Amino acid sequence: MKLNYLVNFLENWAPLTLQEEYDNCGLLVGNDEMKVSAVLVSLEVTEEVILEAIDRKANVIVSHHPVIFKAVNSLTGKTEAERCVIMAIENSIALYAIHTNLDSIYGGVSFAMGTAMGLSNMKILAPRDSNLYQLVVHVPAEHTDALSKALFQAGAGSLGNYDQCKFSTNGKGSYRPLNGSNPYLGNIGKIQLVNEERLELLVPSWSKGAVEKALFLNHPYEEVSHAWFKLTNKSSNTGFGVVGELPSALKDEELIEKMKFVYGAKTIRYIPSKDNYIKRVALCGGAGIDLLSLAIKSEADAFITSDISYHKFFDAKKVIFLADIGHYESERHTIELIADHIRSKMTNFAVLTTESITNPIITS
Ligand SMILES: [Zn+2]
């Protein structure tokens, strides 16, 4: 299988348009025409991970953090990142990063973190401003099912944990074919009445092109009566962080023990909860302290993230349990998330997860 097939598959899942402005996701090293022998998944690319890929005969590394983050003016091996890029090129290993785009999708990084804690009813904590369109199209009633199917396949009709969502109403369409037309139904110069359905579907911005293509390919009319509306509602399908419920309420100490076990965190810096009672939990993988006010607003009893600076902890005092479990620890479940997603569709090469501990920080 060619690498571009894997790249397209990953970008259908976590579109590059969802990455933050500062980010550098996508294929960073390698030719997308190369054949994939095996994939190694990691949180970041280090020299150990490249050596591991060579050893385990993987020629693609899919990492969460991009190894090339800022513009590179020279490539001399003065930093580990530069040495990794040189090693990857010398060993014909492709490097692919799936970073803030994976943080932003429903079922992404923070969902993996929440699933590991056994949270239920998970919702995105900070839904993005809409990147949704509504497509309205009129179609002869007998073509509704086939057209809907094609539009769903192209990426229309997803909403949170639901897919194939649509609304339809029945009505009468009419038109008059003019000279030079080739109508699906009717005769030149005569008004034609047709039993039509008005279909309404949600379409994310990154699928708009594919959905429009599917619309024109699968609609029986020569001229397709349709309209696109850009929506301003918040998207429940994209955004950072999650909030959900623990299977049963925990005391502070119990939650700390659970986090140590689930995330492999040796030390946890935290602010205790107000009432020593935690049931509703907000989470954000990586550096998510900017979502603290949203976690409080969501009535979470606890907010778990990483990279929290000293002064930020004061904002949580006597308000919400706040814990910093470490950046690596908060994202470690992302490795299995990516690997499982690739394995769910790709069966003709091995998908390996790294055995290297790439966390540069020692906790003692
Ligand atoms: Zn991170």
Model pLDDT for residues 332-341, shown as the tens digit of each residue: 999 999 999 9
Tokens representing 355 are: 């055995």
The 10s digit of each residue's pLDDT in 69-84 is 988 899 999 999 999 9
**pTM here?**
0.84
Residue 359 forms part of a structural domain? no
Distance of CA 290 from the midpoint of ligand 1 (Å): 14
Q: What percent of the chain has pLDDT over 70?
A: 100
How far does the centroid of ligand 1 lie from the alpha carbon of residue 123, in Å?
Answer: 20
Whether residue 135 is contained in a domain is answered as yes
Residue 223 located in a structural domain: yes
Nearby residues of 8 by Cβ (< 8 Å), 6 or more positions away: none
Backbone angles phi, psi at 351, to 5 degrees: -115, 110
Q: Which residue has the higher pLDDT, 348 or 93?
A: 93
Q: How far is the CA of 338 from the centre of ligand 1 (A)?
A: 14
The residue from 233, 265, 290 where one domain ends is 233
Q: How many domains does the chain have?
A: 3
Residues 9 and 73 in one domain: yes
Residue 278 structural domain: 105-127+238-325
Mean pLDDT estimate for the chain: 95
Q: Which of 215, 233, 251 is the last residue of a domain?
A: 233
pLDDT at 82: 96
User: What's the confidence (pLDDT) of residue 218?
Assistant: 97
Taking the CA atoms of residue 187, residue 192, residue 198 and residue 204 in that order, the dihedral angle to the nearest 10 degrees is 30
* CA dihedral over 40, 331, 131, 22, signed as positive or negative: negative
Asked whether residue 130 carries a pLDDT value surpassing 80, the answer given is: no
Tell me, what CATH number does 243's domain have? Answer: 3.40.1390.30
* pLDDT tens track for 186-239: 999 999 999 999 999 999 888 999 999 999 999 999 999 999 999 988 777 899
One domain for residues 94 and 149: no
Q: Is the pLDDT of residue 52 over 90?
A: yes
Ligand 1 centroid from CA 343, angstroms: 23
153-162, 163-172, 201-210, 302-311: least confident range? 153-162
Res. 89 pLDDT band, cuts 50 70 90: very high
For residue 159, pLDDT beyond 90: no
181, 265: one domain: no
- Calculate mean pLDDT across residues 14-23: 92
pLDDT of res. 161: 76
In a domain, 362, yes or no: no
Whether residue 145 is found in the same domain as residue 202: yes
From the CA of 245, how far away is ligand 1's center (Å)? 24
Kindly tell me the burial class for residue 59, based on how many C-beta atoms sit within 10 Å of its own C-beta (0-12, 13-18, 19 or more): buried
Please tell me the distance from the alpha carbon of residue 207 to that of residue 15, in angstroms, as a whole number: 9
How many Å from the N-terminal Cα to the C-terminal Cα in the chain? 44
What's the CA-to-centroid distance between 240 and ligand 1, angstroms?
Answer: 12
Predicted confidence at residue 110, as pLDDT, reads 98
Cα(204)–Cα(350) distance, rounded to whole angstroms? 31
| Position 220, amino acid | P
For residue 129, the model assigns a pLDDT of 80
Is residue 363 domain-resident?
no
pLDDT range class, residue 287, cuts 50, 70, 90: very high
How remote is the CA of residue 334 from the centroid of ligand 1, in Å? 10
Residues 90 and 134 in one domain: no
d(CA 320, CA 296): 7
**Are 63 and 114 contained in the same domain?**
no
Q: How far is the CA of 126 from the centre of ligand 1 (A)?
A: 17
The confidence score (pLDDT) of residue 6 equals 97
97 lies in the same domain as 226? no
